[in-house]
Amino acid sequence: MARAYNFSAGPAVLPLEVLQDAQKELVDYKGCGMSVMEMSHRGKDYDAIHQEAIATFKELCGLGDDWAVCFVQGGASMQFAMIPMNFLGKGAVADYGKQGTWSNKALKEGQKVAALRGATVNVAADTQKDIPTRMPSEWKWTEGAAYCHICSNETIAGAEIKEFPKTTGPLICDMSSDILSCERDYNKFDLFYAGAQKNLGPSGMAVVAIKKELAAKGDDKIPTMLQYRTYVDENSLFNTPPTWGIYIFGETMKWVKRMGKENLFALNAAKAKKIYDVIDGSEFWTGTAVPEFRSNMNVTWRIKGGDEALEKKFLDEAKALGMSSLKGHRSVGGLRASIYNAFPMDGVDALVSFMKDFEAKNG
């Protein structure tokens, strides 16, 4: 069976060679007589997988010994609550960027915790309802903020921060949809995290990189499994971790390393440019994000300003040609091509060719 070109925003396409290697090792991992899904998380076979996955990720991000990498179940949405529970105490102020759907979800969780704790949440910038979509150009930070939370790439809006702001408190960033997709100085942050199901591996967990110094400042009165110090002190092995997800994460990180970061980053930019060039080349298509903030991971657009009947025809014909999940998020409609790290260039070429053909027949 031929594989579809999977443009899904998540769970998303994984590197084919990672899937094929996992298939070979599914029943018997490297001759140990069992699957990764069956082995003890305390055993030496799994321990090697765990340690290598962390080491490779830290190498790719340029993180030193002052950083810890944690595997936390619940995805990025769990982080929306864990962050304020750990760091937003009574009388404290946390700054949030309100840049789109996902950053707004994080903001709402912060507000819930603030209401319980007698703390305050400040909206440092608000571009959520701006059309065409964009990221903030100006931020209003609180001096001495407990932390400053932003989202680097909004998958629904198709907008990405290109230059990160300087903040007055620890900088925390949701990088779920663009982590390791472009050149970035990860040491500018104090905590960054990503739901795994876009650029890192399968769904079911978040990868959290946190400075150990920050983790130690977290509230020690909240439940043990919600404290970052638990994951740091126990190397994410306090309880049984999502071992299979960590294994695929580690294999995906090795794939990124084999690709070469610079090569991968250039490929990502080239993939996005091909689609944006078609969108910009005709009035038939309308991009939905301000050009200077356009995402290289999630390309969003409309047909003839929002002709829903024509967009449905586009989606139906694309699916018949093996191009899956090009429909925009249900909250905004339109079209979206999510072209994460593992998405192949030939899939982009197929989409671009189809777009030109579709315009010729329906323009």
Residues annotated as part of the active site: 102, 174, 198
Strand pairing category for 5-6 and 93-98:
unpaired
Q: Given the structure tokens 């739901």, which residue do they identify? A: 195
Residue matched to tokens 């084919």: 16
- Burial of residue 352 (CB within 10 Å: 0-12, 13-18, 19+) is middle
Distance, CA of 53 to chain centre: 18
Give 50-55 contacts, CB < 8 A, sequence gap 24+: 50/235, 50/236, 50/237, 50/241, 50/246, 50/250, 52/250, 52/254, 53/246, 53/247, 53/249, 53/250, 53/253, 54/235
What secondary structure letter does DSSP report for 96? E
Cα–Cα distance for residue pair 194/174, rounded to 1 Å: 6
Give the single-character DSSP code of 289. B
Contact between 138 and 294 under an 8 Å Cβ cutoff? The reply is: no
CA distance 50 to 303: 46
